[in-house]
Amino acid sequence: MVAGKNHTGQGGLRILVTGGAGFIGSHLVDRLLAMGHSVICLDNLLTGQRGSFAHLAQHPRFDFRLHDVTEPVQLDVDQIYNLACPASPIHYQYNPVQTVRTAVLGAINMLDLAKSTGARIFQASTSEIYGDPLVHPQPEGYWGNVNPIGPRACYDEGKRCAETLFFDYRRQFGLSIRVARLFNTYGPRMHREDGRVVSDFIVRALAGEPLVIHGDGQQTRSFCYVDDTVEAILRLMQVPDDDIGPVNLGNPAEETILGLAERVLRQTGSRSSIRHEPRREDDPIQRQPDIALARAKLDWLPETDLETGLARTIAYFKVA
């Protein structure tokens, strides 16, 4: 492996988080600062929000820099967390070519930075690399069922290519890499208009608008609260096994979209109706992570049940 720096996860590291103004990235930045690290946040604010780090404006160990990861950057860092990429269908389909550029060129630029500094590097991949899966639940060894030319391919294939690059850089240059496939993370600081199902249902319910379900609502997802996701990411970066493959990080508790809508209506006390519209192209029928690897290697299980996580998320959107 590349002659690296302190990978123990102890305080005092200089850490780069790309996409740090985004939903998951901002929570990760908070945790890293609380651990005593210094954090540089790179974000072009295309989908990230300044409000996500407003509380850190005077923090002595936080440094925000407006930057697009499709452009190279030179920094002296010990660890890199690469989370920069639009992650909701509305955002990544708005400019699909830019989405691919961010996923692929962003990965190359961050890998080159890791190569020059000896930093351990984390890639936020996605359950979308499994496409509309024919295997259920989805283990890391499943290669997926992805439409390479469909409307979701810019994100699905962009992330698949990023994974390829990470493992090729490890094989060719000996980089210390970590790759996590994240499953439907939700929680406070989600973008109000990103179209992801949890935030969309909550915003509509609070406004008294119909909750829109595409299809019959029997399609499933597995929702993981953001604090649990961030904890797993941190554990993955600290584990000493440099030969660990991609790791699924998500809550294996499966929920139908219709069931989620009914939960949101009940918890918000909303009288909104539920409206069904045609199913979106290439929308997966079922999604559930096999997290046996995360349990074995990271000693990790999600702790926040959906009822509790939704209550916290609803409370955020009531005042956001």
CA distance 128 to 133: 9
Name the H helices within the chain: 23-34, 89-94, 96-117, 153-173, 197-207, 226-238, 257-268, 292-298, 306-319
Averaged pLDDT for residues 22-41: 97
What percentage of the chain carries pLDDT values higher than 90? 82
**Is residue 106 in a domain?**
yes
Phi, psi of 254 (to 5 degrees): -90, 145
**Segment 113-124, tens digit of pLDDT:** 999 999 999 999
**Is residue 190 in a domain?**
no
User: What is the total count of domains within the chain?
Assistant: 1
User: How confident is the prediction for the chain on average, in pLDDT?
Assistant: 93
pLDDT tier at 87 (50, 70, 90 boundaries)? confident
DSSP line for 173-194: H---EEEEEE--EE-TT--TTS
Q: Residue 103's domain spans which residues? A: 14-182+225-250+289-302
What amino acid is encoded at 153 in this protein?
A: A
CA distance 296 to 292: 6
Residue 7 pLDDT more than 90? no
pLDDT tier at 10 (50, 70, 90 boundaries)? low
pLDDT tier at 59 (50, 70, 90 boundaries)? very high
Averaged pLDDT for residues 10-38: 94
Averaged pLDDT for residues 4-29: 82
Q: Write down the pLDDT at residue 292.
A: 98
Q: Write down the pLDDT at residue 267.
A: 98
Q: Write down the pLDDT at residue 20.
A: 94
9-18, 136-145, 148-157, 174-183: least confident range? 9-18
Q: Write down the pLDDT at residue 86.
A: 78
Burial 193-225 (b: 16+ CB within 10 A, else e): ebebbbbbbbbbbbeeeebbbeeebebbbbbbb
**Is residue 216 in a domain?**
no
CA distance 67 to 73: 9
Averaged pLDDT for residues 272-295: 94
Q: Please, what is the Cα angle at 165 between 252 and 113, to 5 degrees?
A: 110
**Segment 202-239, tens digit of pLDDT:** 999 999 999 999 999 999 999 999 999 999 999 999 99
Averaged pLDDT for residues 293-303: 97
Averaged pLDDT for residues 297-312: 98
- Identify the CATH number of the domain in which residue 237 sits: 3.40.50.720
For the whole model, what pTM was predicted?
0.94
Q: Write down the pLDDT at residue 194.
A: 81
**Is residue 315 in a domain?**
no
Give yes or no: 130 in active site: no
Catalytic residue, chosen from 81, 92, 130, 155, is 155
pLDDT tier at 243 (50, 70, 90 boundaries)? confident
Q: Write down the pLDDT at residue 273.
A: 97
**Is residue 284 in a domain?**
no
**Is residue 265 in a domain?**
no
**Is residue 187 in a domain?**
no
Residue 49 pLDDT more than 70? yes
**Is residue 2 in a domain?**
no
Averaged pLDDT for residues 170-186: 97
Task: Report DSSP state, residue 38.
Answer: E
Q: Write down the pLDDT at residue 192.
A: 85
